[in-house]
Chain A
């Protein structure tokens, strides 16, 4: 190896023009790396593909989540029906995303609102909740399930719900208001969580764009 080897410029000040091209190469590599990392806007946050939570829909059909959704992109929100302020916003945001996706003619996308209050949210309650809101249930399902199934699902997706205030109704019901994670998740066709959004204030355009990116 000689000091004249143009690829081994030990003293850059000897060859300023070569130094410039060397810097350019580095800049190109850096830009390429940056481009690769930016295009990966939807990293895998959590893999649920190995899990199969046994859920029950508002029309009482049994469902394995997310296994039975395999091959479909899923937008999932987490709610309880006694919640008057945050959860209706989350449900409505799911509906707004559903409308955008249906209007754009994108198939293969399903919407799910999963209750973390299975003691109260029996299928009939979820059905009523959907009906009063005139939800389009063609690709939208409300889910509940056995308490232990719901608990492990919520734990795995990182949704917390702790009992807060409660009221006693005249019928003797003790109604609990949960303090809970405010979330909508985007799950890819392989059952992997790719992005989480604030459920009650989701930017519906952002989710629609992310769904388009995943479906490409």
Chain B
């Protein structure tokens, strides 16, 4: 009887420990699978447009997808890409989502992928910052703060 009780107790301990470990792992994964670095947004004026840039680092073994960006800074927010047209012309267009492959980094940068802020609610001046939320299908929401700059660096 005594030995049965101790086995039961031990197995309960194992079960609870296992459960605890699993939860901890999940939390760590959702928080750290996606890392957003080098965030910045370009100077622009109220009622005009601007673009938000950053790097998405996906550290997990699974791909993830950025499908939406929200912010109080602008009326409309879309994920865009700049493209080359015939005769050296340039344009941009909305895209539904951006996939970030496993163990990879996708860079949103000038002349390339950007998050378009349309009809800004306020002037965005040098040194200001903009809060935004990036929504990923697997990792959920990632909050960021982006500094207002003219360029990432002088090019």
A residues with a Cβ closer than 8 A to B are 81-86, 88-89, 92, 96, 125, 128-129, 131-134, 160, 162, 164-165, 167, 169-171, 173, 175, 177-182, 198, 200-201
Give Cα A92–Cα B14 distance, bound, in whole angstroms.
63
Q: Is the CB of B88 within 8 A of A89?
A: no
The residues in B between 53 and 81 inclusive whose CB is less than 8 angstroms from any CB of A are 75-76, 78, 80
Q: Which of B76, B78, B87, B154 contacts A169 (CB 8 A)?
A: B76
Q: Is the CB of A169 within 8 A of B110?
A: no
List of 7 A-B pairs having minimum Cβ-Cβ separation, nearest first: A179-B91, A84-B51, A132-B45, A84-B49, A182-B90, A164-B91, A169-B119
Q: Is the CB of A177 within 8 A of B42?
A: no
A23 to chain B, nearest CB (A): 43
The residues in B between 110 and 131 inclusive whose CB is less than 8 angstroms from any CB of A are 110-111, 114, 116-119, 123-126
Q: Is the CB of B89 within 8 A of A180?
A: yes
B20 to chain A, nearest CB (A): 48
Q: Is the CB of A167 within 8 A of B93?
A: no
- Nearest neighbor of B52 in chain A, beta-carbon distance: A84
Q: Which of A82, A86, A164 contacts B49 (CB 8 A)?
A: A82
Which A residues lie within 8 Å of B42 (CB)? 84, 88
Q: Is the CB of A129 within 8 A of B51?
A: no
Interface size on B, residues (CB 8 A): 37
* Apart from the given pairs A85-B51, A89-B151, 6 other A-B contacts in the complex at a CB distance below 8 Å: A85-B82, A85-B110, A88-B43, A132-B43, A134-B126, A170-B119
Q: Is the CB of B88 within 8 A of A129?
A: no
Known: A84-B50, A84-B114. A169 touches B75 (CB 8 A): yes
Give Cα A82–Cα B76 distance, bound, in whole angstroms.
13
Q: Which of A125, A181, A201 contacts B89 (CB 8 A)?
A: A181
B150 within 8 Å of A (CB atoms): yes
Give Cα A81–Cα B118 distance, bound, in whole angstroms.
12
Give Cα A96–Cα B150 distance, bound, in whole angstroms.
12
How many residue pairs at the A-B interface have CB separations less than 8 Å? 96
Q: Interface of chain B, helix or strand or loop or mixed?
A: strand
B residues with a Cβ closer than 8 A to A are 42-45, 48-51, 75-76, 78, 80, 82, 85, 87-94, 110-111, 114, 116-119, 123-126, 150-151, 154-155
Q: Is the CB of A84 within 8 A of B116?
A: yes
Q: Is the CB of A85 within 8 A of B45?
A: no
Q: Is the CB of A178 within 8 A of B48?
A: no
Q: Is the CB of B118 within 8 A of A175?
A: yes
Give Cα A169–Cα B75 distance, bound, in whole angstroms.
8
Q: Is the CB of B154 within 8 A of A201?
A: no
Give Cα A89–Cα B152 distance, bound, in whole angstroms.
11
Which B residues lie within 8 Å of A92 (CB)? 150-151
Which A residues lie within 8 Å of B82 (CB)? 85-86
Q: Which of B87, B91, B93, B151 counts the most A-chain CB atoms under 10 A from its CB?
A: B91
Which A residues lie within 8 Å of B92 (CB)? 84-86, 164-165, 177
Which B residues lie within 8 Å of A178 (CB)? 91
Q: Is the CB of B90 within 8 A of A179?
A: yes
Which A residues lie within 8 Å of B51 (CB)? 84-85
Q: Which of B43, B89, B94, B116 contacts A179 (CB 8 A)?
A: B89
Known: A167-B76, A170-B75. A84 touches B117 (CB 8 A): yes
Which B residues lie within 8 Å of A133 (CB)? 43, 150
